[in-house]
Amino acid sequence: MTPTEIVAPRDPQLRAIAIALSAPFQPKEVKFKPQMVKNNRALAMGYIDARLIQDRLDDVLGVENWQDKYDFLPDGSVVCRLRLKLGGRWITKTDVGSPSEQPDSGDRVKAAVSDALKRAAVKFGIGRYLYRLPAQWVDYDPVKKQLVQLPQMPAFAIPKPKAQSPIQPPKAPKPAPVVEPKPDVVVEEKTQPAPKEPAKVEPPKSATGLPTNGQELHRRLQEYDAKLASQKLCVRGALLAHVTQAGVKAGYTANMTEWNGPAIPFAVDVVKEFEQTVRIGTPEPRNAA
């Protein structure tokens, strides 16, 4: 049973709204933070920014069909009352957000407000699938206090591509050629050469054949990672983890989709070294555990 099947009501209109509200976000929009840390390994927990929730409500319902109200409790917690207009009725769901541990009091209140909104939105299905993500332990840098490796998103947490309509408009029939009667006297006319069509401009391609940005690099590595795993040369995800860790050690961000410039050929060299290592039968490179 998928997350959308769990929250979808019977009414067709409300069902469509529920499915749209609970749809997964793009993987690049989901952030991860350590929920539990053991040495240089951490249990990654996925979350989304409160502004994504506001955008989702605007896109699905419209800016005029949702409201939020906040009550501030003495202990620093915040109560969010989120109201949505569904099927002509206003439906309210409430939840409580906790303050952060930031030193500034204003920042702690802002964190509590965002947390309350996110918790109330989950009751309408927004981001609820994040609570169903499988637990994943990834590499963690205790010095920088950040994740070195990003978890792999399961299939149900990736938005489905919008289907294109297979129905094509019918082509207009070609007009029948007009046969003109031949004159008695044939007059030869010099035909002018047809004007040359302008050369088609091809889209720009990388002169070196390397990925043009971090997103393309991440996509190619995912495909090559699966290929190496299918050949029993390494476990699934080992290549991505190794390249990410090498990039972080070299000073790049842990989010490979943000890599560009010299990070691209650097990643290609790391992949070559990794493949050479696994193909000659030496032990597979392992991340520090």
According to the 3-state scheme, what is the secondary structure of 168-201? CCCCCCCCCCCCCCCCCCCCCCCCCCCCCCCCCC
Mean pLDDT computed over 184-202: 52
| pLDDT computed for residue 263 by the predictor | 85
Percent of the chain with pLDDT over 70: 77
If you count them, how many residues does the chain have? Answer: 289
- Using CB atoms within 10 A of its CB, is residue 244 exposed (0-12), middle (13-18) or buried (19+)? buried
CB 114 within 8 A of CB 106: no
- pTM here is 0.50
Cα separation, 185 vs 177, whole angstroms? 23
How high is the pLDDT of residue 256?
Answer: 84
Mean pLDDT of 101-110: 88
| Contact between residue 80 and residue 68 where contact means Cβ atoms under 8 Å apart | yes
Instruction: Give me the phi and psi of 263, to 5 degrees please.
Output: -65, -25
Q: Is the pLDDT of residue 209 over 90?
A: no
Question: Which residue has 């049973």 as its token pair?
Answer: 1
Most confident of 12-26, 157-171, 234-248: 12-26
- With helix as H, strand as E and coil as C, how does 52-91 read? HHHHHHHHHHCHHHEEEEEEECCCCCEEEEEEEEECCEEE
State how far the Cα of 185 lies from the Cα of 79, in Å rounded to an integer.
96
Residue with more model confidence, 208 or 187: 208
* Biggest CA pair distance of the chain: 106
- In the predicted structure, residue 113 carries a pLDDT above the cut 90: yes
